[in-house]
Structure 1
Amino acid sequence: MSYCRTIVAFALAVLALTAMPASAQAGTAADFLLLAAAEAPAPTDAPAAPAKPEAKPEAGPVVDGATLDSAHTSATFWIRHIVAPVAGRFDAVSGVVAIPPRKPGDGRVAFTVKTDSVDTGVAARDKHLRTADFLDTAVYPEMRFESSRIVSAGTRLARVTGKLTIKDVTREVTIPVRLLGTKPHPMMPCVDVTGYEAQFAINRLEYHVGTGKFFKMGAVGDATDIRIAGETLAARPGCVQPAKTDE
């Protein structure tokens, strides 16, 4: 509406100016410009830019002495292709390892592997492994192990028995777990790192990882060697964090 009033005022002023003597037109024109400026709508403020979401710090590894540090845990496997073994790994592994040296029976070992994280270094092969021919990751997104019994098997070695579930099959297996040692974390004061390693073998066909078609062709073996290695972090008892100093 303000814009329309300005146009009307301008038209009336033009008519008035044409009827005035030339000597009076200059001052009147200046007055009109001031009037037009007053009638013009005020500029609206530009919309405010949306506020940026506050950055959240990334969660660090759990320091409870049992939870595996996923960034430093791996699950690798080897299986025969015609003649030579081919290696692969799963990049998403989580779990807990707690084996008290004096009372291993009170401990627990459990891990979960995301099947679609399989990586053999060949994209086409990985895509095939995710299909129903092998892992069928859309239907079975995880492999799991949960211990039911842990016994000492010597210095830094335990025999861990539990249920291994792959696809629609759950079987009892016994896995040797070795304690690799404990050291202070060089970059996390007052934190100790403990390493574990487990190596065992399964027959993939017993877990329905494949129908046996490629095994009968002689293309892919049935025996699968598996190695899981990882670290847990624990706060060192009685340790005092060093005071932070400004550099």
Structure 2
Amino acid sequence: MAIKTWQLDTTHTTVGFMVRHMVVAKVHGRFTRFEGKVEVNGDDLAQGSAEVKIDVSSIDTGVEQRDNHLRSPDFFDAAAFPKLIFRSKRVQDAGKGHYRVVGDLTIRDVTREVVLETELLGKVKDPWGNERLAFQASTSIDRKDFGLSWNQALEAGGLLVGERVDITLDVQAVAVAAEKAA
């Protein structure tokens, strides 16, 4: 089988996250600039790979002051570490359209293995003749494992910013046309 490359359709893909705030509330955010590709051997997604690069400065929680703090050295340090990078190492078929994508996530200068629980949502041809692949993936990380340790204790107990971060990817990817032999 031939390897097929799929480019992330950034206008139809969301890279989102959620973290607890003041113990009881949830703050949702997303990254608005990223690029990535998925490579698949034929139709067997378990013989695939993925790579995504996310522009840290594109973080958006809907509050400019908070976003600027997240870009600062207290958190992501976007000036020194401008990209978050995920590179898969292997894909495991979990049955019935579900996969476990195991890979390395790099935040700041720290790389840790994470598992993306992934569901294939489908493969279709769009009205313009392009093949599209859609899937949803999620994982949770401890932000301290990546050097994102800034926090403040609350008077009533607990911490201002939760340590667990839930990450969700809603992805559409478009097949890259195979180059014709000369």
Q: TM-score, normalised by structure 2?
A: 0.85
The answer for the alignment partner of 1:233 in structure 2 is: 174
Partner of residue 192 from structure 1, selected from 131, 136, 143: 131
Give secondary structure in 2 for the equivalent of 1:139: coil
CA separation of 1:121 and 1:234: change in aligned 2, threshold 3 A: same
The answer for the alignment partner of 1:209 in structure 2 is: 148
CA RMSD of aligned residues (A): 2.0
**Pairing 1:68–2:8 present:** yes
Deviation at 1:154, TM superposition (A): 0.7
Which stretches in structure 2 are left out of the alignment for 5+ residues? none
**Pairing 1:150–2:112 present:** no
Distance 1:235 1:219 in 2: 44
**Pairing 1:81–2:45 present:** no
Deviation at 1:99, TM superposition (A): 4.0
CA separation of 1:205 and 1:152: change in aligned 2, threshold 3 A: same
Partner of residue 94 from structure 1, selected from 35, 43, 48: 35
**Residue by residue, what CA displacement relative to the aligned partner does 1:5-33 show, whole Å, maximum 9, x if unpaired?**
xxxxxxxxxxxxxxxxxxxxxxxxxxxxx
Distance 1:235 1:162 in 2: 23
**Pairing 1:136–2:77 present:** yes
Instruction: Describe how 1:110-121 pairs up with structure 2 within 5 A.
Output: 110-121=51-62
Q: Percent identity?
A: 35
- Paired residues in the alignment total 170
Give secondary structure in 2 for the equivalent of 1:149: strand
Give secondary structure in 1 for the equivalent of 2:6: coil
- Specify the code of the residue in structure 2 equivalent to 1:206: D
Deviation at 1:148, TM superposition (A): 1.1
Give secondary structure in 1 for the equivalent of 2:7: coil
Which stretches in structure 1 are left out of the alignment for 5+ residues? 1-63, 238-247
Looking at both structures, which has the greater relative contact order when contacts are Cα pairs under 8 Å and sequence separation is at least 6? 2
Whether the 8 Å contact between 1:74 and 1:93 is mirrored in structure 2 is no
Distance 2:66 2:164 in 1: 18
Deviation at 1:171, TM superposition (A): 0.8
Deviation at 1:79, TM superposition (A): 0.4
Structure richer in strand, relative to its length:
2
- Specify the code of the residue in structure 1 equivalent to 2:25: A
Give secondary structure in 2 for the equivalent of 1:72: coil
Deviation at 1:104, TM superposition (A): 3.6
- Specify the code of the residue in structure 2 equivalent to 1:174: V
- Specify the code of the residue in structure 1 equivalent to 2:94: A
The answer for the alignment partner of 2:103 in structure 1 is: 162
Distance 2:106 2:76 in 1: 12
Q: TM-score, normalised by structure 1?
A: 0.64
